[in-house]
Amino acid sequence: MSSVLKVSDVCKTFTQGDQEVKAVDGSSMTVDKGEFVSITGKSGSGKSTLLGLLGALDYPTSGSIDIDGQDITKLSERKLTNYRRQKVGFVFQNYNLVPNLSALENVMLPMEFAGTPKKERTKKAEELLRSVGIEADKQHRRPNKMSGGEQQRVSVARALANNPKIILADEPTGNLDSENGQKVFDLLHGLTRNHETTVVVVTHDLDIAGKTDRTYNLKDGKIKQR
């Protein structure tokens, strides 16, 4: 199986007052296409920081991140925007849906940024929402009229909008009860199996981590495969 993601000796340092804090300290990892990978670790271990680096939300202090054969640490800001638009999809712990847009409009948003025509993006958003279990009667609801599980499924649909190669999920079940958490997990798991989409999920839930193809553990900024 070919690797879609290769992280080599990545460091991320923050300055807090007079002190330098190494959130990620020389981490390296590889993820294959269609693989479901989890990153575990205690709170403050640097999991979310690493996920942000993989999603080009921030630049690493050193090291390289190759995604689909391209080192994203060398890309300009403009190219990084395109990378985020085309290659990755994000699922956040707090769902992060735009509150005054409906579920459908939220899913259409990444497609609008990618320049997809309105008719096409409406049709695709409806399909995606149906595929995650949000039927037509709920597609025009605003996030505050939906349950946490529903919001997270909308968030997954939004992440899939531009057919990304990688889905990066930050504690996707963290705010959900076990039933809804399982649904979202199954959804992400299904993506890897049915669409060969690579999923990297950050979690502190060892049950979930145990069900993924590969698990990395992050401790004090250093990563190890379990």
Partner 1 sequence: MNSISRGLRNAFRNPTRTISIVLILALSIGLIIAMLAARQAVDAKIQNVKGSVGNTVSISPAGVRGFEGGGTALTDAQLAKVSDLAHVTGVTETLNDRLTTSTTNLQSGINPGELGMRRSGQTGVGTPPSLNENSDGSNSGTNQQTFTMPVEITGVSDASDASTFGGSKVTWKSGAAFDASKDENVAVVGTKIASKNNLSVGSTFTAYDTSIKVVGIYDAGTDFANNGVFVPLATLQKLSDQSGQITSATATVDSLDNLSGVTSEIKSTLGSSADVTSSQDTANQLVQPLESVKSIALFSLIGAAIAGAVIILLTMLMIVRERRREIGVMKAIGASKATIIRQFVAESVTLMVLGLVVGLGLGVLAATPLTNMLVDNSTSSSSSQGASGPGQGGSGFRLGGLRIARTAARESNENVQASVGIDTIGYGLLAALLIAAIGSAVPAYFITTIKPAEAMRNE
Rounded to 5 degrees, φ, ψ at 181 are -60, -40
Annotate each residue in 126-145 with x if it binds partner 1 (CB under 8 A) or - if it does not, as one string.
--------------------
Residue closer to partner 1 by CB (options 5, 168) is: 168
Q: Quote the CA–CA distance of 148 and 50 in Å, as a whole number.
A: 25
| Nearest partner of 25 among 220, 225, 224, judged by Cα | 220
Supply the minimum distance, in Å, between the C-beta of residue 1 and partner 1. Answer: 27
With binding defined as CB under 8 A, does residue 124 bind partner 1?
no
**Binding segment for partner 1 among 61-69, 93-101, 146-154, 217-225 (CB under 8 A)?**
93-101
Given 58, 71, 177, 196, the residue binding partner 1 (CB under 8 A): 58
Given 31, 37, 51, 208, the residue binding partner 1 (CB under 8 A): 51
- Residue pair 88/56 in contact (Cβ under 8 Å)? The answer is yes
**Secondary structure of residue 103 in the 3-state scheme:** helix
Contacts of 39 (CB under 8 A, 6+ apart): 47, 50, 51, 200, 201, 202, 203, 215, 216, 217, 218, 223
With binding defined as CB under 8 A, does residue 93 bind partner 1?
yes
Given 9, 20, 70, 81, the residue binding partner 1 (CB under 8 A): 81
Residues paired with residue 16 on neighbouring β-strands, in sequence order: 19
Q: Quote the CA–CA distance of 103 and 134 in Å, as a whole number.
A: 9
DSSP 55-70: TTSS--SEEEEEETTE
Residue closer to partner 1 by CB (options 165, 211) is: 165
Q: Are strands 214-219 and 36-40 parallel, antiparallel or unpaired?
A: parallel
With binding defined as CB under 8 A, does residue 216 bind partner 1?
no
Given 151, 158, 181, 184, the residue binding partner 1 (CB under 8 A): 158
Q: Quote the CA–CA distance of 24 and 49 in Å, as a whole number.
A: 7
With binding defined as CB under 8 A, does residue 108 bind partner 1?
yes
H-helix or E-strand containing 192?
A: helix 178-194
With binding defined as CB under 8 A, does residue 75 bind partner 1?
no
With binding defined as CB under 8 A, does residue 113 bind partner 1?
yes
Interacting residue ranges for partner 1, rule: CB under 8 A: 48, 51-52, 55-58, 78, 81-82, 84-86, 89-90, 92-94, 96, 98-101, 105, 108-110, 112-114, 158, 162, 170
